[in-house]
Amino acid sequence: MKLYYSPGACSLASHIALNEAGVDYTAEKVDIRAKRTESGADFAAINPRGAVPALDLGDGEVLTEGVAIMQHVMDSAAPGLLPAPGTLARARLAEALNYVSTEVHKTYSPFFRGLEGEAKASQSALLDARLQVVEDRLATRDWLAGDAYSPADGYFFTVTNWSKGIGHDLSKFPRVTALREKVAARPAVQKAMQAEGLI
């Protein structure tokens, strides 16, 4: 398998999941703006949507979308690490992954288009509201989807890393901060961040 990624982008969550699953894979950096991989390949030919992550499964299939990649990797390479399909625990995992994807990740996205003034303040308030939901949930559980680490935690860690770059203060969310610290300490996370040149 080969993961196509951009350092610090949402593809970091898939990078973490590959490490958590303990699979053999390679990783290649992508210049998203130029649509070229580090080796010079046309990334648009690999993923016509032009976005990372993309996972070449090695059999002619390329899987895109981080939530799909994370679940596929864990289910196929490390069966039993995720809750079984059809259980409430699996639904809680899907709930957590989708909340991070549609509510948290997408609330960060506008900041990268140069928000200023009232628009930035309004988007910051929306981000705080999304993070408060997670803060409140963490009052009754150790991890996003329940009592065990899951790809949702790695994904949440990845996107909340962006707070520093946009000048957003996470210190008002002590449970979120504590979760981030637990995730950051995991060997799979350290390995992915080192590989992407983030630490």
Q: Are 14 and 3 in contact (CB under 8 A)?
A: yes
pLDDT computed for residue 115 by the predictor: 86
Q: Does residue 45 share a domain with residue 113?
A: no
pLDDT computed for residue 45 by the predictor: 96
pLDDT computed for residue 75 by the predictor: 93
Q: Does residue 11 share a domain with residue 57?
A: yes
Q: Does residue 93 share a domain with residue 68?
A: no
Asked whether residue 97 carries a pLDDT value surpassing 90, the answer given is yes
Q: Does residue 96 share a domain with residue 56?
A: no
Q: Does residue 104 share a domain with residue 26?
A: no
Query: For the chain, what is the domain count?
Result: 2
Start-to-end C-alpha separation, the chain: 24
pLDDT band per the 50, 70, 90 thresholds, residue 78: confident
pLDDT computed for residue 62 by the predictor: 97
Q: What is the 3-state secondary structure (H, E, C) of 47-64?
A: CCCCCCCEEECCCCCEEE
- Provide the domain limits for residue 49: 2-80+188-195
Q: What is the percentage of the chain residues whose pLDDT exceeds 90?
A: 94
pLDDT tens digits, 27-51:
999 999 999 999 999 999 999 999 9
- Residues 55-82 have a mean pLDDT of 93
- Cα–Cα distance, 193 to 13 (Å, whole number): 10
CATH number for the domain that contains residue 161: 1.20.1050.10
pLDDT computed for residue 79 by the predictor: 87
CA 70 centroid distance within chain: 9
CATH number for the domain that contains residue 38: 3.40.30.10
- Cα–Cα distance, 50 to 33 (Å, whole number): 9
- Residues 131-136 have a mean pLDDT of 98
Q: Does residue 75 share a domain with residue 94?
A: no
Q: Does residue 122 share a domain with residue 73?
A: no
Q: Does residue 130 share a domain with residue 44?
A: no
Q: Does residue 121 share a domain with residue 67?
A: no
